[in-house]
Amino acid sequence: MKQNKVKVELLPHTPFLKYNGKFDRNTAIEYCGKIAGECYEPDGWETLKNEDENKTKRRVELTLGLEHSTPYEHVNIGFEITNAPKILLMALNNERQCATSEKSLRYTSIEKGKDPNISEREVFLYQKWMNILKSKIKDRYGDIYSDNKIQKLAQENSRYLTSVFISTQMVHTIPWIQLNRIASFMQGNINKKNKNDFEERLTPYFKQFINRLDELDILDERAMSNRKHRELSLFNNRKVVDSFGDSYALNYKGTFSQLAQTHRHRTSKYSMKLLEEKEYFILPILKDDPVLVDEWLADISSIAYAYPQGELVLINERGTFEDFILKTKERLCTAAQLEIMLQTRKTLLKYKEALNVSNHPLKDEINKYTKGARCTFPDYECAKDCGFEEGKTLVREI
């Protein structure tokens, strides 16, 4: 299958941007090298900004050259990445130290011939199930949702039938040194031996992304140093032991789509692992019709080669109690994607039970968040009442 070529363009909010669209790496590094002197220069920036160039260079070698990277986080790179597979953007977002604005498949539709990363079969299934879902949602919630809302929900759920390699785009802002680190992590994946099919498919996109960053003069060998042998955090074969207390950790099955949604919660950590046997998410709104369920599973199984976004993977989630409560204040809502709402609720109840069993001091605190959607929380203010009872009680099916 022909593939799109990943494109990266620097945006105007990037400092040290040259007239030709490239990054003035040397000037940016010199600037950060001066900042590194703030730790011990008595007169601070007033002296540092005019210090001898050779003194700054020596400090750069002592900091950047020895992986003391904090001073080099002061300069952010803002770029738009287009023609990039969804899974590549997920790898970027999972590193957390960033700001992201990404194209949404809730608000945009997929059309035949627009994306070489999507097969005709996927487009056919997407459109087929869009029509089925619009009818199902209309029958079930036509008195609650407008036609426009029904269209968006149908689009959001039909995307499960498209590949996680679907081409998409986003604006991403990230510290210069962090972007260099991520490029080095990607290079580690490229150099990995005995890759599986999924990793082989992702490798060309990692190469294209790194090459484009190099063309824009963003990469520096010192900044890409990886003496700690860190790797992309999205891919982790280590299964954690479920635990709940002041901090928590658990494993659960969720789709690529849900995993992408979790990246909005940068206070928690996530990683994934492919299942040994493929499994797929079944939309709750279909479950009262066994014929449609069988048809859904047959259709999504027919594109198993594409790694559809509705494929289940093993997700590893870790964070603090406060992190998780913050997540519930986003995801236990009518407006949230249904799958992540259901999983967040399931985790909440599991967390509550564990705290009760251990008689943990937080057991009374967590009870405040188990009455329903976030609008029932004592410390959350809803901006606009949805007026949707099934949404507030977390029993909606779409």
pLDDT > 90 fraction of the chain, expressed in percent and rounded: 89
The percentage of the chain sitting over the pLDDT mark of 70, rounded to a whole number, equals: 99
DSSP-H helix ranges across 103-255: 120-141, 147-158, 176-191, 197-215
- Residues 132 and 110: their CA atoms lie apart, in Å, by 16
When pLDDT is cut at 50, 70 and 90, the band that residue 2 belongs to is: low
* H-type alpha helices, 302-362: 321-331, 338-358
Of 17-26, 227-236, 306-315, the range with the lowest mean pLDDT is 227-236
Confidence of residue 4 (pLDDT cuts 50, 70, 90): confident
Burial (CB count within 10 angstroms: exposed 0-12, middle 13-18, buried 19+), residue 111: exposed
Separation between Cα atoms, residue 92 and residue 106, nearest integer Å: 21
Taking residues 257-279, report their average pLDDT. Answer: 93
pLDDT for residue 340: 97
Residue 54 identity (one-letter amino acid):
N
- Local confidence band at 342 (pLDDT 50, 70, 90 cut-offs): very high
pLDDT, residue 110, reads: 85
Per-residue pLDDT tens digits for 364-396:
999 999 999 999 999 999 999 999 999 999 999
Lookup: tokens for 119: 């097969």
pLDDT in tens, 192-216: 999 999 999 999 999 999 999 999 9
The predicted model gives 310-339 an average pLDDT of 96
Q: Is the dihedral of CA 139, 141, 145, 150 positive or negative?
A: negative
pLDDT in tens, 57-89: 999 999 998 998 999 999 999 999 999 999 999
Of the candidates 329, 194, 357, which has an alpha carbon nearest to the alpha carbon of residue 264?
Answer: 329
Query: Positive or negative, the Cα torsion across 386, 388, 393, 396?
Result: negative
* Domain 243-392: assigned CATH number: 3.30.1360.170
pTM of the model: 0.94
Domain range annotation of the chain: 7-102+166-215, 243-392
In angstroms, the CA 359 to CA 368 distance is: 16
Could you tell me the fold of the domain covering 7-102+166-215? Answer: Gyrase A; domain 2 (3.30.1360)
3 state DSSP class of 310: coil
Please state the rounded mean pLDDT for residues 163-176.
97
Q: And the tokens for 14?
A: 């990037």
Q: What is the pLDDT of residue 3?
A: 65
- Segments of the chain assigned E as strands: 7-10, 76-85, 99-102, 167-175, 243-244, 247-255, 269-274, 312-320
CA 217/CA 213 separation, integer angstroms: 7
The tokens describing 359, both together, are 């008689």
State the average pLDDT over residues 280-298.
97
Domains 7-102+166-215 and 243-392 fall in the same CATH topology: yes
